[in-house]
Structure 1
């Protein structure tokens, strides 16, 4: 990883891993809805707010982190005394504290997504120095990506234990997952989906928490899409908290990301909660999708 960010990035990833057991253990008692909505208009669960406050407290205490933003907050929080002044080594963290929290009621997969930028937020994909996600499945695992590649860890007692290094997408893809209501899909995306579904080597894997679907793609190869919709031309997922970090991880693992026309990492940031269509996976599948949407 870049020398000036190596220590700060390691501290951030270690802190996220250290908090994972605490967040997981707190979930059973925080399945109820709160009286608040997040900036995207979604009703927050008590678990969303709890995880957000915990990450702000612990990540904000790190010397290298000068700005914190989450899907649950309207604005970014400056965590140092210098305001918006950026020095060499300073980092911003954008986080989805509990991706897929709607799955909590049904006890399905969820996780945490982390993007680390060396620029003020909102920032572009070019400003990413690292990204990660924690997956709360039957076991707790963590994927990290930096300029040295992608690594998978087991998170045990809040520490990271390497499972796989130099993680890359399998060359032969076998899974797909497409978000949004089918009647709301644009015709060109629906045609692409029909083509993928007609391939009997591909299996549907869609669980209602993006992070679980992404982990399936990273494990087995394939494609995940949350497209532009007729009712939502910019899609549903947020560029800062979901599109950029997931695009960075998949591209670092040898795959492709796209907003439908080019890499998600090239999308110009205009707003902290900006939405973007997200298509990620094996290069051939994403290239075919772009051709279908052209």
Structure 2
């Protein structure tokens, strides 16, 4: 066998191993979701502790993080576990790096609205570029528990029934005719250029914004449209964490045929210098993100 053929076979085998580990990560999260959702009861209140981003942690945030750290850290082939709720990554062995936003949208617990979990699987040390992602997924704890996952350029949607993944849609792509939008941050904190973009969007699309990233992006994937948490006057770097939220969500949307942008480039092109670095996030149909970048460039 030639050296080139050996290289191809080795690369293929390595890719299969990554996919297998990524699948185990998603399956482990799915298996944990019934227990995770049940654990919210009685843990909605805030604790005295704060995370690296300075946000007061809820009892549910900490409980979700502890359970996922234990279960994902026990997967053979996972080398690093990192959470939005922890200052530093945890070395759990050799292999891929897994990032988790254990309880996305936890502020929604006050009003009993949607929350979820975001997972990224990176082939590289953290902090890492979105180009190092080999898979990403998010869970929505809604009337039913659902998971949307992306690997190898393909997106699938599952209903999670008693911890088991039941596929609802394969090769999920954004609808070509967008119909919804959701924009975060106070309007009086938006830049003039983003406000001008938003005015045009409001004329053509329906507002769908619930305050949990997973729920708002899930609407965009289902109906087509655009979600944004832009740069704000008070937060020029935006609110969302690149490693834990923005990059995994951008990976899913791009695999579904859409685009992501921080205002001038794909989120996946960002090379973060810090594990908890923030960035503006805009995701959705290509035409709408193209329009956004033109607006912000003026």
TM-score (norm 1): 0.95
Q: How does 1:65-144 map to 2 (within 5 A)?
A: 65-80=78-93, 90-144=95-149
Q: Give the helix-richer structure, 1 or 2.
A: 2
Q: Does 1:26 align with 2:39?
A: yes
Whole-angstrom distance in 2 between the partners of 1:255 and 1:7: 26
How much has 1:148 moved relative to structure 2?
A: 4.5
**Runs of 4+ residues deviating >6 angstroms:** none
2:19·2:151 contact (CA, 8 Å) conserved in 1?
A: no
Q: Does 1:207 align with 2:220?
A: no
Alignment correspondent of 1:180: 185
2:51·2:84 contact (CA, 8 Å) conserved in 1?
A: yes
Whole-angstrom distance in 1 between the partners of 2:130 and 2:19: 18
Q: Deviations over 1:208-249 (max 9, x none)?
A: 111100000000000000001111111000000011000000
Q: Does 1:284 align with 2:294?
A: no
Q: Does 1:46 align with 2:49?
A: no
Alignment correspondent of 1:55: 68
Whole-angstrom distance in 1 between the partners of 2:16 and 2:76: 16
Alignment correspondent of 1:83: none
How much has 1:29 moved relative to structure 2?
A: 1.3
Q: Does 1:169 align with 2:174?
A: yes
Q: Does 1:255 align with 2:258?
A: yes
TM-score (norm 2): 0.94
Secondary structure of the corresponding residue to residue 40 of structure 2: helix
Secondary structure of the corresponding residue to residue 251 of structure 1: helix
Paired residues, what number? 284
Q: Which runs of 5+ in 2 are unaligned?
A: 1-11
Cα-Cα RMSD: 0.9
Whole-angstrom distance in 2 between the partners of 1:134 and 1:262: 26
